[in-house]
Amino acid sequence: MKILTISDEECPALWDYYVPGRLKEYDLILSCGDLKSQYLSFIVTMARCPLLYVHGNHDTHYKQDPPLGCDCIDDQLVVYNGVRILGLGGCRKYRNSEFQYTEKQMRKRIRKLRFKLWRSGGVDIVVTHCPPEGLGDGEDRAHMGFAALRELLDKYHPQYLLHGHVHLRYDGSKEQVRAYNGTTLINASERYVLDIPDVPHTQMEHNVLVWKTRHKDPYSEDF
């Protein structure tokens, strides 16, 4: 399965200078946050495959202008073509704003998903906005990673963790791909293409997004 991962910066080749057919090779698109909703709507229309996203700390405008045709997987566990995908958006709290969390709040979010993770036998891809603590994060308060995400890797050993938040263009010393305890971490800043082996699944599940958690409207008052 060929997956396009995107985050933080709109790619000119996929928007301003888009060439028809450029996105047809992808089976799935995963957004790690901080992208214009119009950009996501455009990409999912051109790609004609699912686009799943989590919120970045700058995505507060999504409530009034959500990305059309896309699925929010924040605090959700979904399965697509046999691949188990967990979404945990947002960043470390550095001011009072939506999609910013304390370490305690992030641990609580993960704890609520433990039963579903157990029922599903774990997770293959974790999609976040903020990286785990000490694994590609920054030193300033706004870009520090979550220790809770590192603990998640230690417990469930997903194949991949995709994140954004730390712009590679601003810091050339940061690695885009790194390994930790059996997990490959990828900074999806602007874009990164991930090609993974196909996972066995039934014909009824083919190209169908299966929600393992209760699917809620992320912009409703009771979410």
Beta strands in the chain (DSSP E): 2-7, 28-31, 51-53, 71-72, 76-80, 83-88, 91-92, 100-101, 125-128, 160-163, 177-180, 183-187, 190-195, 209-211
Question: Structural domain tally of the chain?
Answer: 1
Q: Please tell me the least confidently modeled range out of 43-52, 97-106, 194-203, 205-214.
A: 205-214
**71-72/28-31 β-pairing:** unpaired
Residue 144 lies in domain: 2-211
CATH number, residue 162:
3.60.21.10
pLDDT at 223: 45
pTM for this structure? Answer: 0.93
- Residue 221 belongs to some domain of the structure: no
Q: Is the dihedral of CA 15, 21, 25, 29 positive or negative?
A: positive
Residue 218 domain-assigned (yes or no): no
Q: How far is CA 188 from the centre of its chain?
A: 9
Q: What is the pLDDT of residue 221?
A: 53
In a domain, 110, yes or no: yes
DSSP state of 33: S
pLDDT tens digit sequence for 1-51: 999 999 999 999 999 999 999 999 999 999 999 999 999 999 999 998 999
What's the whole-number mean pLDDT along residues 184-200? 95
Residue 216 lies in a domain: no
d(CA 72, CA 66): 10
Q: What's the average model confidence in pLDDT over 97-115? A: 95
